[in-house]
Chain A
Amino acid sequence: MDERILDREIKESLIRATDGLMPMKEEIWKNIQSKIESDTRPRSVRSMRRRKKARRRHILSSISLTAAAIIMVLAIGTNAGRAAVARIRDILLPEKDIVQEIEGEKEDTKVSLHEGSDSDYIIYIDESNYKMVKQDGKDRIVPKVEIGPEYPEVYLEIQHVKDKSPVDVAREVEDDLKSSFENVENYGVVEEPIKSIYLHARDGFKHNDPVVSYYIVDDNQGGAFVIKQHLFLEAAEGHGVRFYHMLKEFKVIKSQE
């Protein structure tokens, strides 16, 4: 078969199967407009309070009971933080099974509950493949099996920056990435795998070119958790997917001085 005919027919089938959608254009635009209008409309203090309350209600109703329990825990200082984590350990399952898709194949994985060094977050780690180590005052989740010197390092690093907002941290990270990488993208706020500001950087398309992603998570106390994922391009669908699923289980533990 002539390759050009194949290309033409694939294109044509996609075009025809997705025809007839444009009548939705106006309705979608109206919905978008009403959403962005409510974003930009100046609000009175009272309406802002109402929104804040509504948002809080929404958060509480939409997250699971377990997650709500975590967020509601008020800890005083590190000792109390540890006590809070201990209480959370009682609430949460110490281990659970998740299903993740690696290279198109579904895989059942057991993950175990871990807490951050300063007891300010919890995360579930796939302990059959990874371990948590402390390095330069940061928590690192690294593969148990050594990757070899010919490849860039593979890790997921978590650091709590208490005195900078997520937006400020994201700006600094972006500037820093631009000094070392040719391609840096800031995707703004994403919801998956965790609500955060997401930045992505890489140089080339060779299998062992380094790829760095940052997820900047609001700690809801004026600071941010800076989560750095460092791997190489070919590992994106292996370690990248496993890190993604671990990040879905990342939860901030709120503390109060």
Chain B
Amino acid sequence: MQKDIIVRIKNGDKEAFEQLYNEYIEYALRTATAITRNKPDAADAVQETFIRVFRNIMFFDEERPFKPWFYRILVNECNRIMKQKRKVISMDQYLNNAVYSEEDRYHFEEYEDLYNAIQDLQEINRVPIILKYLNDFSEKEIAEILDININTLKSRLYKGRNRLKKALLDIKGRRAKNG
């Protein structure tokens, strides 16, 4: 994110804010959907995040990187909404909430098992994995977003990734057996 856009937003330039929205919306929605496991909750979290960003941008130091600041707010919003609702969404419900064309669904099924395995990870492994693979954040950035020690983060990513590796081997084994 360019510094001048942030400065313009701070000065009340709504076009600059829309520019920021257009740049961030896609991956914000993807990330929030993966974290909340629910499309309407993801939309609420993303909406509230952008409103918070607009209201709090005056506090942001434009000399610092914007993306981790933004995603920290997003992750907190997702957690807040999940905590508020305290509901567990099964994968079936998740799929019912999502809008997929038949073609999308066909492609999705190829990856569904692995996605299920990601969603079955413990919360402390799941969120770092989502941030790393959806957003290409560095380990240092994820540690900053989640406010955890980088070694703790490395260990959580390592454990999460190992579980996914095992899950993927099982999936491939099953598929091979099924022809």
Given contacts A13-B115, A185-B64, contact A237 B148 (CB under 8 A): yes
Determine whether the beta carbon of A188 is less than 8 Å from that of B54. no
Q: B residues 65-92 with Cβ under 8 Å of A?
A: 69, 72-73, 76, 80
Q: Confirm or deny: A82 has a beta carbon within 8 angstroms of a beta carbon on chain B.
A: no
Contact check: which of B18, B60, B114 meets A13 at CB < 8 Å? B114
Given contacts A10-B164, A11-B133, A187-B73, contact A104 B123 (CB under 8 A): yes
Determine whether the beta carbon of A17 is less than 8 Å from that of B34. yes
Given contacts A20-B99, A21-B29, A24-B43, contact A32 B133 (CB under 8 A): no
Determine whether the beta carbon of B130 is less than 8 Å from that of A191. no
Chain A CB within 10 Å, residue with most, of B46, B59, B134, B151: B59
Q: Provide the bound-state CA to CA distance between A163 and B166, in Å.
A: 59
Q: Provide the bound-state CA to CA distance between A15 and B147, in Å.
A: 25
Smallest beta-carbon distance A22→chain B, Å: 6
Q: Confirm or deny: A145 has a beta carbon within 8 angstroms of a beta carbon on chain B.
A: no
Q: A residues 177-202 with Cβ under 8 Å of B?
A: 183-192, 197, 200
Determine whether the beta carbon of A31 is less than 8 Å from that of B47. yes
Smallest beta-carbon distance B85→chain A, Å: 15
Given contacts A1-B169, A17-B34, A205-B143, contact A189 B56 (CB under 8 A): yes
Contact check: which of A7, A14, A234 meets B34 at CB < 8 Å? A14
Question: For residue B54, which residues in chain A have a CB less than 8 angstroms away from its CB?
Answer: 32, 36, 39
- How many B residues face the partner with a CB closer than 8 A? 68
Given contacts A11-B133, A18-B134, A21-B29, contact A191 B149 (CB under 8 A): no
Question: For residue A17, which residues in chain B have a CB less than 8 angstroms away from its CB?
Answer: 33-34, 108, 111-112, 115
Question: For residue A24, which residues in chain B have a CB less than 8 angstroms away from its CB?
Answer: 29, 39, 43
Q: A residues 122-150 with Cβ under 8 Å of B?
A: none
Contact check: which of A9, A15, A23, A183 meets B168 at CB < 8 Å? A9
Q: Confirm or deny: B55 has a beta carbon within 8 angstroms of a beta carbon on chain A.
A: yes
Determine whether the beta carbon of A21 is less than 8 Å from that of B42. yes
Question: For residue B108, which residues in chain A have a CB less than 8 angstroms away from its CB?
Answer: 16-17, 19
Determine whether the beta carbon of A184 is less than 8 Å from that of B61. yes
Smallest beta-carbon distance B174→chain A, Å: 15
Q: Confirm or deny: A172 has a beta carbon within 8 angstroms of a beta carbon on chain B.
A: no
Q: Confirm or deny: B5 has a beta carbon within 8 angstroms of a beta carbon on chain A.
A: no
Q: Provide the bound-state CA to CA distance between A22 and B152, in Å.
A: 34
Q: Provide the bound-state CA to CA distance between A191 and B104, in Å.
A: 37
Q: Provide the bound-state CA to CA distance between A205 and B148, in Å.
A: 9
Contact with A along B141-157 (1 / 0, CB 8 A): 00110011111100000
Given contacts A9-B168, A17-B108, A188-B59, contact A22 B47 (CB under 8 A): no
Q: Confirm or deny: A158 has a beta carbon within 8 angstroms of a beta carbon on chain B.
A: no
Determine whether the beta carbon of B149 is less than 8 Å from that of A18. no
Determine whether the beta carbon of B60 is less than 8 Å from that of A188. yes
Contact check: which of A16, A23, A207 meets B151 at CB < 8 Å? A207
Determine whether the beta carbon of B99 is less than 8 Å from that of A186. no
Determine whether the beta carbon of B56 is less than 8 Å from that of A188. yes
For A184, the closest partner residue in chain B by CB is: B61
Question: For residue A27, which residues in chain B have a CB less than 8 angstroms away from its CB?
Answer: 43
Chain B CB within 10 Å, residue with most, of A14, A104, A200: A14
If A11-B133, A21-B33, A188-B60 are given as contacts, then 5 extra A-B residue pairs at C-beta distance below 8 Å, sorted by A number, are A10-B114, A14-B133, A20-B104, A22-B29, A29-B18
Which residues of B pack against A, CB within 8 Å? 12, 14, 17-18, 21, 25-26, 29-31, 33-34, 39, 42-43, 46-47, 50-52, 54-61, 64, 69, 72-73, 76, 80, 98-101, 104, 107-108, 110-112, 114-115, 118, 122-124, 129-130, 133-134, 140, 143-144, 147-152, 161, 164-165, 168-169
What are 27 sample pairs from A and B whose C-beta atoms fall under 8 A apart? A6-B164, A10-B118, A10-B164, A12-B111, A13-B115, A13-B118, A14-B118, A14-B130, A14-B133, A18-B34, A19-B108, A20-B100, A21-B42, A21-B99, A22-B26, A36-B54, A36-B55, A40-B12, A104-B123, A170-B59, A183-B64, A185-B69, A187-B73, A205-B143, A205-B149, A205-B150, A236-B149
